Structure 1
Amino acid sequence: MNEKSFYKLTYKQRIEYLTQKLNLSDQQVELITGANDLISDQLIENFLLNYDLPEGIMTNLKVNNKSYMIPMVTEEPSVIAAASYGAKMLANQTGVIAEVLDNELTGQIIIETHDLEQLNAYITTKQAHLIEIANQSHPTILKYGGRAKNISVRVLDHNLVSLDVNVDTAEAMGANIMNTMLEAMANELSSQITGQIIMSILSNYADKKLVKVTGKVAFDQLSKHGDGQKVAQLIEKASYISTIDYKRATTNNKGIMNGIDAAAIALGNDWRAIESSVHAFAAKDGHYVGLSQWRVVEQQLVGQMILPMPVGFVGGATKVLPKAQLNKDIAKIENVREEMQVLAAVGLAQNLAALRALVSEGIQKGHMNLQFKSMAMANGAKTSEVDMVIKELRKIDHPSSDDVIEILKDIRK
């Protein structure tokens, strides 16, 4: 057997093949086979095992006057603590006010043509017909209030054109719905226009799936030492810097996505689609900028953010994975628009906590306890030893893995 035929093997045969080829130990094989299930074996190709990441609960989140506890899946220390702290600061005022501005997915039919005039004329006169073909290719979407809505022609260069198709995908993220519709329209177009259809595919540039979130924080929530106004002013400056410096903007937006990704993964959504659309949206005006804006207004700090949120409440992994369904029940989210609003609010809370830490005590202070814990566990500390290791690490200016190993030796004596 060679690797080209690996996909044909049963699960048991895959394990046997890998054990022999890679000389896996009995302990390694046990780790693999003890973390598998029939669902995952059907979900992806060449399945090996379920790779676990920690899941925790973000607390204190209040969006549109409704309180939430949001499951978050992440391996990065302090993400959940920071998001919860940011949400607490926002909740002490009005909470986060969220609004879905648009909820349409965009798809593209790319055509190479030397007769743009003929293509434009056809789309103008036959748009309703093409939309009907799209809707009939996926009729179940009509039952849920979704549908193809419009088609526009966008010239890419002298002979390449993109037909941009907007679809309301209802409660689904809509990738499969969109691609089915596009292919149905492309089949019709291929016999009606002069030119060659290059491809038909959804776009992950989700500028028609936008959410706006706004939050306010009183000065006294930003500092325990009475200098909350100063902290607010520094946050405003930090926010401005992310609009003029792409290096700072990248880190700012990564912090926003720390929260959004973790919640999106927990809810069974395609976090990669969210990432790609968010970062592309940050560069929509020709230069990459931070997506959050914080301003001092009277006696409070006001934050606002508009960003794309291409998620689905039904279908795909959200339905197949039992834990994703459990997490939706924990979060008490009832539909896709609410999900979009909540995820964006998580990002705003995460950003607030990060900026407050950056301009006050520094980002490391909040990280260190959790970093120490990770360092201890990564170097062999048992659960019962972790607190003792952390206590000793705090006494060292710049602790390292070698320090953990020495501390463990002393403890175990």
Structure 2
Amino acid sequence: MTKAVSGFSKLSKEEKVQWIAEHHFSNPEQAVAVLKKYWNSDAELQKLHDEFIENTISNFYLPLGVAPNFLINGKNYTIPMAIEESSVVAAASKAAKFWAHRGGFKTTVLGTEKIGQVHFMFPGSFETLHAFFTSITPKLYSETESITKNMQKRGGGILDIELRDKTSELENYYQLHATFETKDSMGANFINSCLEQFAKTLKEEAQKYTAFSDEEKNIQIIMSILSNFVPNCLVRAEVSCPVAELKEDKNISQEEFAEKFVRAVQIAEIEPYRAVTHNKGIMNGIDAVIIASGNDFRAVEAGIHAFASRNGKYTSLSHAKVENGIFTFWMEIPLALGTVGGLTTLHPLVKASLEMLGNPTAEELMQIVAVAGLAQNFAALRSLTTTGIQQGHMKMHLMNILNQFKATEEEKKQVIKYFEKNTVSHSGVVDYLESLRN
């Protein structure tokens, strides 16, 4: 059992690595070598990465790939994707090419509103509290002017502040529910700074409010924090074409493909077990672009899955229909993203990814990210309803299996050639590799 360590954060990077190796690895020398192998030889770049988080001991690499041929609102994009899962980039690229010949993707930003809340406890009546809130509302705005001044110059700021009564769910519990426009920044720090000032003003003004009893004056602030549930920061992405133009697989007619595709989406709309996996496929595309663009994929994931459950049951994010011979596939999802601040100005590959996309605004990035998710979903559903998901996925996974068993370049060539005409499975690849070696 490893003993507790005191003052670990004050150790140098070298000392941290040495301590980790000695206390957690059977071969400390080998552990140190592996961790240091991923240090960047550019000392300045490595220092930058070291300072992104605390207690850095090494770098953890993800491949950065690109999916070309995305036609979005008439404009061509090559989309950067940071992800480790086989076949995601290939599937997105294939879907992009498919729809580029059928009018491309159409997108619309439906809203950009973000939300933050001050959560507090108040022992009096809602009517008394509401009268107090109304009286101090101008002050809530005026005392945040130093925070909002620059954001207002860019067209953003505080949109609204409302008092919400939550006492039916938790005794004495109320909220200041505020909405914000943060333009090209994701806005977390801006929103949280405003909320903390709201809380301060709320508490200070309560002490002076003569209509409050002594008990009511002691409003208890629980916390002030933005919400990652942003149902009004919404983007729509869609594709459509005549059913007759869906022909691509010789083993299935256009009509049957469209019917099976729509049925597959309908199943995800009503069956949560399927919906979770269905939406995970959408997030394969979304997360990959979010990571490449330096945004917070955890916040986006949380908000999107909450959105999928907003009506009380977890359901599909995407939808499909055939009407009057036209196939339509679409999705509306919440995406709170930024193209300024955070890693966007610090991480060299994030800057490169954004430049690759034409240095988009936050609204443009919302549209690009949504399209990546829809393309990924289309590719997955096309495979599922025709050849099956494993045929393409396992062929892409083949190289991972070969690398796992340290195949030589010559062995890789022979195995790849063999599985051009044979079904790929983990055991099949291992058996064939062993037969070559024997």
Q: Could you say which TM-score interval applies, normalised by the shorter chain?
A: over 0.9
The equivalences for 1:135-174 within 5 A come to: 135-157=145-167, 158-174=171-187
The separation in 1 between residues aligned to 2:422 and 2:67, in whole angstroms, is 31
1:82 alignment partner, one of 88, 91, 106? 91
Structure 2: runs of 5+ lacking an equivalent: 40-45, 207-215
* Offset of residue 100 of structure 1: 1.1
RMSD: 2.0
Deviations 1:244-296, CA, capped at 9 Å, x for gaps: 11111111111111100001101111011110000000111111110111111
Cα distance, 1:374 vs. partner?
1.5
Match of 1:354 among 371, 377, 380: 380
Cα drift, residue 376 of structure 1: 1.4
**Within 2, Cα distance between the matches of 1:406 and 1:237?**
38
Alpha-carbon distance, 1:13 to partner: 1.2
Q: State the number of aligned residues.
A: 412
Contact 2:70 2:104 in 1 (8 A): yes
Instruction: Report the Cα distance in structure 2 between the residues aligned to 1:388 and 1:100, rounded to whole angstroms.
Output: 49
1:302 counterpart SS class = strand
Kindly report which structure 2 residues correspond to 1:1-400, keeping only aligned pairs within 5 A, or say none: 2-23=4-25, 24-36=27-39, 37-115=46-124, 116-157=126-167, 158-193=171-206, 194=216, 195-219=219-243, 220-225=245-250, 227-393=253-419, 399-400=425-426
How far apart are the structure 1 equivalents of 2:75 and 2:118?
A: 41
Give yes or no for contact 1:376–1:390 (8 Å, CA) kept in 2. Answer: no
Q: Summarize the Cα distance change of 1:202–1:372 in structure 2 as closer, same or farther, 3 Å threshold.
A: same
Question: Which secondary structure state, in structure 2, belongs to the residue aligned with residue 340 of structure 1?
Answer: helix
Deviates more, 1:9-18 or 1:378-387: 378-387
Range that drifts further, 31-40 or 390-399: 390-399
Cα shift at 1:409:
4.6
2:7 match: secondary structure: helix
In structure 1, C-alpha distance between the alignment counterparts of 2:92 and 2:412, rounded to whole Å: 24
Q: Identify if the C-alpha distance between structure 1 residues 131 and 386 changes in structure 2 by more than 3 Å, giving closer, same or farther.
A: farther
- Per-residue deviation, 1:328: 0.7
Deviations 1:48-102 (A, max 9, x none): 1110111111122111111100010111111111111222222222211111111
Per-residue CA deviation, residues 29-60 of structure 1 (Å, 9 max, x unaligned), is: 22212323111211101001110111111122
1:384 deviates by 4.6
Using the alignment, how far apart are the partners of 2:413 and 2:165 within structure 1? 62
Identity within the alignment, %: 34
- Measured at CA, do residues 400 and 252 of structure 1 come closer, stay the same or move farther in structure 2, by a change above 3 Å? closer
Q: Between 375-384 and 107-116, report the one with greater CA deviation.
A: 375-384
Shift in alpha-carbon separation, 1:52–1:217, aligned structure 2, 3 A: farther
153-162 or 237-246, which moves further after superposition? Answer: 153-162
3-state SS in 1 of match to 2:330:
strand
Question: Does structure 2 conserve the Cα–Cα contact (< 8 Å) formed by 1:174 and 1:312?
Answer: yes
Alignment CA distance shift 1:180-1:284 (3 Å): same
- SS of aligned partner of 2:295: coil
Are the equivalent residues in 2 in contact too, given 1:236–1:294 (CA < 8 A)?
Answer: yes
Q: Give the superposition deviation at 1:191.
A: 1.8
Give the Å deviation of 1:405: 4.7
In structure 1, distance between residues paired with 2:98 and 2:432: 38
Q: Separation in 2 of the partners of 1:169 and 1:385?
A: 54
TM-score by length of 1: 0.94
What's the TM-score, normalizing by structure 2?
0.89
Query: Is the contact between residue 112 and residue 181 of structure 2 (CA under 8 Å) also seen in structure 1?
Result: yes
AA of the residue aligned to 1:180: S
Q: Retained in 2: the 8 A contact 1:135–1:147?
A: no
